[in-house]
């Protein structure tokens, strides 16, 4: 696989990716970047022509040819140092960097038909991508880009705009609000991937903060069954009756509760309920028992 080697005597700035026969496309990208950074890629890609009659060259021409030779030897040495002993045997007879590179390309770049099949499989994976309910936006973005980068190693020219559109239409329902805002306020044809991710991550942080605040206030969207809580932690009918009966002494049976819609209901007792939250069970005391309610209602001031 493609890893990184540090040749003896070389600095950390000249790290060379190491190729052992696997993940050639990744190694190729890294090696090309290094060669470009050091001004060597042109000599690898195009090579140079040796003079037919070196004796007839002027001094300036001879110096130019010698500079090409040194440049080519430097590039070739980097290719040689960037492969294992087994891979080196393939390029050991190459006299120029261009020749060594073409040998590696022929053997490891892959047959065009095979590459085309692999690319089509990746395109299908990309098309079927959809965010999971349990996934956060950063995790989904990483999953999308993993496939996109693999497609690009096969020379596919998928654009960032295409990636933006894919992420935008494959989000879960919890991003529905921010999607609507972006559609109303942004030009989707000009929206960059960085801008989209920034908006989605900010929305995600706000939702997480709101969830924490809601949980701290003991508000729950789930239906809660009110059960009297005893210090022993047990629940049975006799304990319920005793608990509610004891609590009833704090008010008379004519206690009325006015609801938000103006209707009035009679409260029969008062007790403690347990509410399950993400951080554990929370207990709320002095909760009124109103039998006429069809749903449990928890009002937090």
Confidence tier at 271 by pLDDT (50, 70, 90): confident
pLDDT at position 199: 93
Confidence tier at 263 by pLDDT (50, 70, 90): confident
Whole-prediction pTM value?
0.48
- pLDDT above 70 for 264: yes
Confidence tier at 298 by pLDDT (50, 70, 90): low
pLDDT digits (tens, 9 = 90+) for 138-187: 999 999 999 998 898 887 889 999 999 999 999 999 999 899 999 889 88
Q: Say how far residue 4 (Cα) sits from the centre of its chain.
A: 24
Lowest mean per-residue pLDDT among 122-126, 154-158, 190-194, 226-230: 226-230
pLDDT digits (tens, 9 = 90+) for 32-45: 999 999 999 999 99
* Average pLDDT value for residue range 245-262: 53
- pLDDT above 50 for 23: yes
* Average pLDDT value for residue range 62-70: 94
pLDDT at position 275: 73
Better-predicted residue by pLDDT, 81 or 275: 81
Give one DSSP letter per residue of the chain, joined into a string. Answer: --EEE--TT--GGG-EEEBSSS-HHHHHHHHHHHHHHTT-HHHHHH--PPPS-GGG--HHHHHHHHHHHHHHHHHHHHHHHTB-HHHHHHHTT--SHHHHHHHHHHHHS--HHHHHHHHHHHHHHHHT----TT--HHHHHHHHHHHHHHHHHTT----HHHHHHHHHHS--GGGHHHHHHHHHHS-TTT--HHHHHHHHHHHHHHHHHHHHHHHHTT--SS--------TT----HHHHHHHHHHHHTTS-TT-EEE-TTS-EEE--EEEEEEEEETTEEEEEEEEEE-TT-SS------
Spell out the domain ranges in the chain: 3-108, 112-216, 221-301
């Amino acid at each position: 696989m493609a890893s990184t080697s540090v040749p003896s005597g070389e600095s950390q700035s000249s790290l060379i990716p190491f190729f052992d026969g696997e993940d050639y496309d990744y190694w190729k990208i890294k090696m090309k970047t290094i060669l470009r950074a050091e001004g060597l890629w042109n000599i690898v890609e195009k090579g140079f022509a040796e003079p037919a009659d070196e004796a007839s060259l002027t001094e300036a021409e001879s110096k130019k040819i010698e500079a090409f030779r040194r440049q080519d030897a430097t590039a070739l040495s980097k290719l040689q140092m960037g492969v294992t002993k087994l891979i080196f045997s393939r390029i050991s007879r190459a006299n120029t960097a261009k020749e060594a590179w073409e040998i590696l390309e022929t053997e490891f770049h892959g047959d065009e038909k095979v590459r085309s099949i692999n690319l089509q499989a990746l395109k299908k994976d990309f098309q079927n991508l959809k965010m999971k309910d349990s996934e956060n936006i950063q995790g989904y973005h990483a999953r999308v880009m993993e496939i996109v980068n693999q497609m690009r190693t096969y020379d596919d020219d998928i654009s960032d705009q295409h990636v933006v559109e894919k992420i935008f239409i494959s989000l879960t329902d919890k991003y529905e609000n921010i999607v609507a805002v972006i559609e109303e306020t942004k030009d989707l044809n000009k929206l960059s991937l960085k801008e989209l991710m920034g908006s989605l991550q900010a929305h995600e942080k706000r939702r997480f903060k709101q969830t924490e605040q809601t949980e701290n206030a003991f508000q729950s969207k789930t239906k809660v069954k009110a059960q009297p809580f005893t210090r022993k932690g047990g629940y049975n009918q006799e304990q319920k009756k005793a608990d509610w009966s004891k609590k009833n002494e704090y008010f008379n049976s004519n206690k009325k509760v006015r609801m938000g819609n103006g209707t009035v209901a009679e409260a029969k007792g008062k007790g403690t309920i347990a509410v399950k939250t993400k951080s554990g069970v929370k207990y709320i005391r002095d909760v009124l028992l109103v039998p006429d309610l069809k749903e449990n209602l928890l009002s937090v001031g």
